[in-house]
């Protein structure tokens, strides 16, 4: 069955609605002059399993559905949602939200509606991809294999999560589009003790796939091995240095630098409003000419990928920075219209109960030409940061942070001792101008990123090659 | 003011779920049902920007088959959906392992008294009225000084909800509560010198909110104060956490003495019960029965009675923060903290904020922290910060793009003083906190 038909069936028909009912709600929304209107239907299935202390500790399952109704007039938005997908309720929501429209333009402009787009993932239900016993067996095997790796292991925690999300988006131009989005995630955390010192290591991954993802290439067990390795490194870690120094970032997940330092600052809403440190700077140099950064929602099976965004726009590979020059912003429909540019497929929302806004998908830097070893060798004294926890940015001042979870000192061109986790802080608009070497080892992260903005969480990806930054403040304790 | 009819409607659904669990063979079950309605409006540059009508409901059930456990939730309360939800929970329980510590709380610990905590004050306000408050607030912030250059707007939020919890031991209780807030955020300066800050007020009763003028003026003052911020050189110095930042420090302490971190041995305060973890002048206690407060509750998320009690006195840790499960894992008794603490209060000292600045004398005042650089297992602490450099008790200039670092174990032991400038906007009530010394990294 074609996707649209399948989703229409699973969201509308089961609730006794037909596509004509969507037309009635849309007609109610369009009874006043508006620039845009949409109805977003969603049905989500979610499960999680966790293992701790060597036993299957917890499992949970949830089913949620609902619809959100939105009208936009100029820069004004009216929004209501309900968990009851019923015609009278949707009509009432439509009547409530259109009150925001005092004057507006009737949506006359012909909008190009994409008819088809590549399918970046299969419309699978990951919850059904293994039977429950097989999920339990997988967790138990990962737990026991991980525990064998080191006698200092005191506790292992393994979690397995899957979501199966169907969305149906009706726009004021009469278009009706659907997407079915699987997402799986696994995580292993290890606590290790030696001579009274206790440290942890954590590793995970996932993507828009089903549980078979973790069985391919030995991934599930590799997470366990990597978590153990990180805990081992941390047991040896000494005080981190404090102060401004050369920092080499490893490939992959350290791309969170790009997400925080420049990604958020390049989201369309902040730039339309002029509240971002990057506002009005398209065409200007914001990075060294070694840097080309894209936001690409079209990567097959990645955690941050989407066939279409939550406004029905097919995702794109958007060049943000090309050879150091700022090229453009990430846009949803509202901000694109107000800025006179086209949407880039970055309109995302956490659920039907949230308003869409410009969000990242998979944000990464393209590879350069340097050999990673040569980059390390070029540093007399500095920090090599291989793994990170989370980060945060103040998009107005441009100041951003991200915290290392695996880092080493570089002394005379060699990686020497591991150091404890430390926060790195810098200034978004100039940090990339200090990039003096870019490795040829571009890698994407393992599929663990979740981005928060205005209280809404969405899955994202990041990536980068090894990077050398001439001067970043490292927040250790060793002054 | 409680609408008993609405509470009873939810109780019926919870009872139906508990009955269904029994029907499907569960030896025990607990269920919670919450409904929340709200309105959020925001205004920017003098005009309405968004109007959002919120309407959420969620129901969750946990079933026990002996000592195997499973949970499921849904937002669809049709009879069929409730049956399916219980079925899903039961199916999970069948695959879960026997866990000697799992199960419902001891019946004698369940709450039996339910005083009116004065938590429900719905705000009779429509979108137009809310918009005009937001516009007024933003106008005051924007008009405060000509250096205010842009705005992220002001918003008014009002929420009212009903929550019912029941279990198969016969506990079935519910209450209504409200929560309203007014917030504002503006920018000052331009280009590379641009700064932004915000302020907000939150209360159970709209009458307890700061006025649009107060919030607007404070937003503007805080934003202006950040202009011309610079970094600091790398150094060690005393650090004063403003009260709105001090709650995070106490939050890290609470996390470390919570049952889940303790039984997983992922806490930097393992095995510290009855030992000195703070200076001897520090008292931390829980006040669950404060009328109208944000964290008040007469029972926790398992139905266990909450208690007014000391957690730290004379700097000595007197009690962990436990749920039924974590307590059993540790061979202790639950402290009524499933779901968290209730108006956790750090006893204020004698100094107001100005007095605390004098005590700081020369050092860093932190008014904003960034990132999640707190390691719960080791206590290692390293976060991005901004605030003000203070000399001789007088603010000199704003600072940004620095980090502050230390280890929570020694940071807590080295608290010099706690102010009486208590921030009441959260579940942790604490004044500003002065630490003897931290490592600052900067230019």
Question: What is the residue-wise DSSP string for B218-257?
Answer: HHHHHHHHTTT-B---SEEEEEEE-HHHHHHHHHHHHHHT
- pLDDT value of residue B382: 96
The region that residue B432 occupies, defined by phi over 0 for left and psi between -120 and 50 for alpha, beta otherwise, is beta
State mean pLDDT over B417-425. 97
Q: Identify how many contiguous H helices and E strands chain B contains and give both numbers.
A: 9, 17
Measured CA to CA, the distance from residue B342 to residue B324 in angstroms comes to: 16
Q: Which residues have CB under 8 Å from B302's CB, separation 6+?
A: B30, B104, B105, B167, B323, B324, B334, B338, B339
* Tally of CB atoms within 10 A around A277: 25
Measured CA to CA, the distance from residue B142 to residue A196 in angstroms comes to: 56
Beta partners for residue B208, in sequence order: none
Can you tell me whether residue B344 is helix, strand or coil? strand
Measured CA to CA, the distance from residue B442 to residue B229 in angstroms comes to: 13
Interface of A with B in 247-286 (CB under 8 A): 273-275, 277
Measured CA to CA, the distance from residue A306 to residue A459 in angstroms comes to: 10
From the centroid of its chain, how far is CA A234? Answer: 27
* Tally of CB atoms within 10 A around A9: 12
State the burial class of residue B167 (Cβ atoms within 10 Å of its Cβ: 0-12, 13-18, 19+): buried
Measured CA to CA, the distance from residue A316 to residue B62 in angstroms comes to: 42
- pLDDT value of residue B191: 86
Q: How far is CA B353 from CA A270, A362, B251, B357, B427, in A?
A: 34, 45, 21, 6, 21
Beta partners for residue B374, in sequence order: B381
CB-nearest partner of B384 from A77, A200, A399: A399
Reading the block at residue A374, the tokens are: 């040569």
- pLDDT value of residue A243: 96
Dihedral sign for Cα atoms in the order B329, B332, B338, B342: negative
| Domains assigned to chain A | 3-236 (3.30.2290.10), 242-475 (no CATH)
Please tell me if residue B57 touches chain A, with a CB cutoff of 8 Å: yes
Please tell me if residue A75 touches chain B, with a CB cutoff of 8 Å: yes
Residues in chain B: 443
Q: Are A438 and A370 in contact (CB under 8 A)?
A: yes
Q: Are B51 and A95 in contact (CB under 8 A)?
A: no
Contact B378 A420 (CB under 8 A): yes
Interface of B with A in 69-108 (CB under 8 A): 69-76, 81, 84-85, 88-89, 91-93, 95-99
Q: Are B395 and B357 in contact (CB under 8 A)?
A: yes
List chain B residues with CB under 8 Å of A133.
95
CB-nearest partner of A136 from B88, B95, B127: B95
Where b means 16+ CB within 10 Å and e means fewer, A201-225 reads bbbbbbbbbbbebbeeeebbbbbbb
Please tell me if residue A324 touches chain B, with a CB cutoff of 8 Å: no
SS3 per-residue string spanning B170-224: CCEEEEEEEEEEEEEEEEECCHHHCEEEEEEEEECCHHHCCCHHHHHHHHHHHHH
Nearest to B157 by CA among B122, B121, B130: B130
Q: How far is CA A350 from CA A84, A150, A198, A356, A357, in A?
A: 18, 40, 36, 8, 10
Contact B371 A474 (CB under 8 A): no
* Tally of CB atoms within 10 A around A300: 12
* Tally of CB atoms within 10 A around A360: 27
Cα–Cα–Cα angle for A385, B403, B353, rounded to 5 degrees = 160
List chain B residues with CB under 8 Å of A400.
370, 384
List chain B residues with CB under 8 Å of A82.
55
Please tell me if residue A198 touches chain B, with a CB cutoff of 8 Å: yes
Q: pLDDT averaged over consecutive 10-residue blocks of chain A (479 residues)? A: 88 91 93 92 97 94 96 94 94 89 55 77 96 96 98 97 97 93 98 94 97 96 98 96 97 96 96 95 96 98 98 97 97 96 97 98 98 98 95 95 96 97 94 97 97 97 98 93
List chain A residues with CB under 8 Å of B192.
277, 398, 429
Q: What is the ipTM of this complex?
A: 0.94
A222-227 contact pairs (CB < 8 A, 24+): A223/A142, A223/A186, A223/A187, A223/A188, A223/A446, A224/A142, A224/A145, A224/A146, A224/A149, A224/A156, A224/A158, A224/A188, A224/A190, A225/A146, A225/A149, A226/A188, A226/A201, A227/A146, A227/A188, A227/A189, A227/A190, A227/A201, A227/A202, A227/A203
List chain A residues with CB under 8 Å of B50.
76-79, 355
Phi, psi of B64 (to 5 degrees): -120, 135
Please tell me if residue B222 touches chain A, with a CB cutoff of 8 Å: no
Contact A273 B152 (CB under 8 A): yes
Cα–Cα–Cα angle for A372, A378, A384, rounded to 5 degrees = 60
Please tell me if residue A399 touches chain B, with a CB cutoff of 8 Å: yes
Nearest to B241 by CA among B92, B379, B78, B356: B356
- From the CA of A114, how many Å to the nearest CA of chain B? 28
Measured CA to CA, the distance from residue B310 to residue B272 in angstroms comes to: 15
State mean pLDDT over B422-441. 97
Can you tell me whether residue B54 is helix, strand or coil? strand
- pLDDT value of residue A108: 47
The CA radius of gyration of chain A, in Å to the nearest whole number, is 24
Q: Per residue in B355-381, pLDDT tens?
A: 999 999 999 999 999 998 999 999 999
CB-nearest partner of B75 from A52, A83, A96: A83
- pLDDT value of residue A115: 73
Beta partners for residue B176, in sequence order: B162
CB-nearest partner of B382 from A155, A275, A475: A475
Please tell me if residue B372 touches chain A, with a CB cutoff of 8 Å: yes
pTM exceeds 0.90, yes or no:
yes
Q: Are A383 and A241 in contact (CB under 8 A)?
A: yes
| Domains assigned to chain B | 1-226 (3.30.2290.10), 235-441 (no CATH)
Dihedral sign for Cα atoms in the order A48, A49, A51, A56: positive
Segment (H or E) for B15: helix B4-23
Measured CA to CA, the distance from residue B14 to residue A378 in angstroms comes to: 66
The region that residue A294 occupies, defined by phi over 0 for left and psi between -120 and 50 for alpha, beta otherwise, is beta
Q: Are A178 and A9 in contact (CB under 8 A)?
A: no
- pLDDT value of residue A455: 95
From the centroid of its chain, how far is CA B280? Answer: 26
Contact B72 A420 (CB under 8 A): no
Reading the block at residue A425, the tokens are: 């802080």
CB-nearest partner of B443 from A59, A244, A475: A244
Measured CA to CA, the distance from residue A162 to residue A60 in angstroms comes to: 11
Residue-wise DSSP of B382-422: EEEEEEEEEETTEEEEEEEEEEEEEEHHHHHHTEEEE-S--
Q: Are A66 and A57 in contact (CB under 8 A)?
A: no
Give the largest CA-CA distance in chain A.
73
Nearest to A146 by CA among A185, A184, A191: A191
Q: Are B24 and B89 in contact (CB under 8 A)?
A: no
Measured CA to CA, the distance from residue B390 to residue B396 in angstroms comes to: 5
Segment (H or E) for A191: strand A176-194
């Amino acid at each position: 069955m074609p996707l649209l038909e399948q989703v229409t069936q699973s969201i509308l028909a089961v609730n006794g609605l037909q596509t004509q009912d969507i037309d009635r709600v849309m007609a109610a929304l369009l009874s006043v002059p508006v620039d845009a209107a949409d109805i977003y239907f969603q049905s989500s299935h979610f499960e999680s399993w966790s293992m701790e202390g060597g036993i299957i500790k917890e499992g949970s399952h949830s089913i949620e559905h609902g619809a959100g109704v939105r009208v936009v007039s100029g820069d004004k938005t009216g929004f209501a949602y309900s968990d009851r997908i019923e015609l009278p309720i949707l009509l009432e929501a439509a009547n409530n939200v259109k009150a925001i429209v005092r004057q507006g333009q009737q949506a006359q402009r012909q909008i190009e509606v994409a008819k088809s787009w590549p399918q970046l993932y299969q419309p699978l239900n990951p919850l059904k991809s293994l039977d429950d016993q097989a999920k339990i067996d997988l967790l138990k095997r990962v737990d026991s294999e991980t525990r064998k790796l080191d006698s200092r292991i005191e506790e292992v925690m393994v979690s397995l999560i899957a979501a199966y999300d169907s969305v149906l988006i009706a726009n004021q131009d009469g278009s009706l589009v659907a997407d079915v989005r699987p997402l799986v995630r696994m995580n292993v955390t290890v606590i290790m003790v030696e001579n009274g010192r206790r440290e942890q290591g954590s590793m995970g991954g996932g993507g828009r796939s089903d549980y078979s993802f973790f069985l391919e290439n030995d991934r599930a067990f590799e997470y366990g091995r990597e978590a153990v390795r990180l805990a081992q490194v941390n047991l040896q870690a000494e005080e981190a240095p404090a102060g401004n120094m050369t920092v080499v970032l490893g490939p992959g997940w350290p791309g969170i630098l790009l997400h925080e330092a420049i990604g958020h600052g390049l989201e369309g809403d902040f730039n339309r409003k002029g509240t971002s440190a990057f506002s009005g700077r398209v065409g200007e140099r914001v990075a060294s000419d070694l840097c080309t950064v894209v936001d690409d929602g079209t990567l097959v099976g990645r955690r941050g990928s989407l066939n279409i965004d939550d406004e029905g726009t097919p995702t794109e590979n958007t060049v943000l920075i090309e050879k150091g020059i700022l090229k453009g912003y990430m846009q949803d429909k509202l901000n694109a219209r107000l800025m006179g540019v086209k949407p880039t497929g970055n309109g995302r929302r956490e659920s039907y109960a949230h308003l869409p806004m410009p969000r990242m998908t998979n944000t990464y830097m393209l590879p350069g030409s340097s050999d990673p070893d040569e980059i390390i060798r070029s540093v007399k004294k500095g920090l090599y940061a291989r793994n990170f926890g989370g980060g945060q940015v103040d998009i107005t001042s441009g100041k951003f942070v991200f915290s290392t979870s695996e880092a080493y000192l570089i002394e005379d061109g060699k990686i020497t001792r591991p150091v404890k986790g430390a926060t790195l802080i810098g200034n978004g608009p100039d940090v990339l101008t200090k990039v003096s070497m870019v490795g040829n080892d571009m890698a994407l992260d393992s599929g663990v990123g979740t981005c928060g903005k205005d209280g809404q969480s969405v899955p994202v990806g990041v990536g980068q090659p090894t990077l050398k930054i001439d001067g970043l403040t490292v927040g250790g304790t060793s002054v | 003011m409680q609408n008993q009819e609405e509470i009873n409607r939810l109780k019926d659904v919870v009872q139906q779920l508990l009955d269904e669990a029994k029907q499907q063979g569960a030896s025990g079950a607990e269920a919670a049902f919450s409904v929340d309605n709200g309105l959020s409006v925001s205004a920017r540059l003098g005009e309405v920007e968004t109007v959002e009508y919120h309407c959420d409901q969620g129901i969750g059930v946990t079933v026990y088959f002996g000592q195997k456990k499973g949970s499921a939730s849904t937002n669809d309360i049709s009879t069929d959906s409730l049956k399916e939800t219980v079925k899903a929970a039961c199916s999970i329980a069948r695959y879960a392992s026997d866990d000697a510590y799992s199960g419902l709380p001891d019946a004698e610990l369940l709450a039996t008294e339910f005083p009116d905590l004065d938590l429900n004050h719905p705000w009779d306000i429509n979108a137009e009225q809310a918009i005009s408050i937001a516009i007024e607030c933003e106008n005051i912030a924007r008009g405060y000084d000509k250096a205010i250059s842009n705005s992220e707007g002001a918003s008014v939020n009002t929420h009212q909800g009903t929550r019912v919890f029941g279990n198969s031991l016969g506990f079935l209780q519910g209450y209504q509560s409200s929560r309203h807030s007014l917030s504002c955020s503006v920018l000052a300066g331009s280009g590379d010198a641009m700064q932004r800050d915000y302020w907000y007020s939150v209360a159970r009763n709209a009458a307890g909110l700061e006025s649009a003028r107060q919030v607007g003026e404070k937003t503007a003052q805080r934003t202006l104060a950040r202009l011309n911020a610079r970094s600091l050189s790398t150094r060690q110095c005393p650090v004063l956490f403003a009260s709105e930042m001090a709650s995070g420090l106490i939050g890290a302490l609470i996390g470390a003495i919570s049952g889940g971190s303790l039984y997983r041995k992922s806490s930097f305060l393992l095995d510290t019960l009855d030992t000195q973890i703070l200076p001897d002048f520090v008292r931390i206690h829980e006040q669950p029965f404060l009328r109208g407060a944000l964290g008040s509750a007469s029972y926790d998320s398992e139905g266990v009675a909450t208690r007014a009690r000391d957690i730290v006195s004379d700097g000595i840790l007197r009690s962990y923060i436990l749920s039924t499960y974590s307590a059993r894992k540790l061979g202790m008794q639950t402290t009524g903290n499933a779901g968290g603490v209730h108006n956790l209060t750090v006893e204020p000292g004698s100094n107001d904020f100005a007095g605390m600045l004098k005590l700081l004398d020369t050092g860093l005042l932190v008014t904003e922290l960034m990132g999640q650089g707190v390691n719960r297992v080791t206590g290692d602490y390293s976060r991005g910060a901004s605030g003000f450099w203070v000399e001789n008790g007088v603010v000199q200039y704003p600072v940004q793009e620095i980090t502050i670092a230390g280890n929570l174990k020694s940071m807590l032991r080295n608290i010099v003083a706690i102010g009486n400038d208590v921030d009441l906007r959260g579940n942790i009530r604490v004044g500003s906190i002065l630490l003897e010394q931290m490592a600052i990294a900067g230019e």
